[in-house]
Amino acid sequence: MPKLDLFKFVPFRLNRLAAEVSLALSSEYQERYGLDIPEWRVLATIGFRNEPCSAQYISHCTRTHKSTISRAVTALMRRRLVERVENAHDRREFSLRLTRKGKALYEELIPRLLRKEKTIMAALSATEQRELARLLGKIEKNLDLVQTRQEADEKLGY
């Protein structure tokens, strides 16, 4: 039976890399703003859109379990960063949007995260960064992951 060299096994490498990048970014939003990773994912997904969205949409786009998203939403609502918006056509359904306080936090945080991303990506040339983005896109497509906001909206009906 062949041995598995974890350090050459792509799923292991991607997982390890994702964990380290996530940790590096979390230092920006955890220490300064008191957000954990799931809360950041909720805030980022809602902030990325111009209109409210469902917790199901956030769960699907971020590939985070719905119970984790639910807990994050509850915490963000307690801090008055996120609020629920009733569906005018079905009062049993609601969407989520950032409050004024949530928008201000999001707008303050995004430039910090973009600078951090730039620092992380500095190991690659501009050409390598474009190639990495292209290759990641191919893998995402192969795994049927949504890759754009438009695709997510169409696929999820939001």
pLDDT tens per residue, the chain (158 residues)? Answer: 889 999 999 999 999 999 999 989 998 899 889 999 999 999 999 998 878 999 999 999 999 999 999 999 999 999 999 999 987 777 777 899 999 999 999 999 999 999 999 999 999 999 999 999 999 999 999 998 888 888 877 776 55
> If we measure between CA atoms, which residue out of 39, 49, 141 comes closest to residue 97?
49
Residue 156: the pLDDT is 64
Domain annotation covers residue 87:
yes
Residue 38 resides in a domain: yes
Where residue 27 sits, what CATH number does that domain have?
1.10.10.10
Q: Could you list the residue range(s) of the whole structural domain that residue 112 is in?
A: 6-156
Number of compact structural domains in the chain: 1
119 in any annotated domain: yes
Nearest to 81 by CA among 108, 56, 60, 57: 108
The answer to the question of residue 1 being in a domain is: no
Residue 27 lies in a domain: yes
pTM: 0.85
Calpha distance 80→38 (Å, rounded): 16
Q: How far apart are CA 66 and CA 55, in angstroms?
A: 7
Q: 127 in a domain, yes or no? A: yes
Residue 114, in any domain of the structure: yes
Q: Is residue 88 part of a domain?
A: yes
Burial of 105 (0-12, 13-18, 19+ CB in 10 A): buried
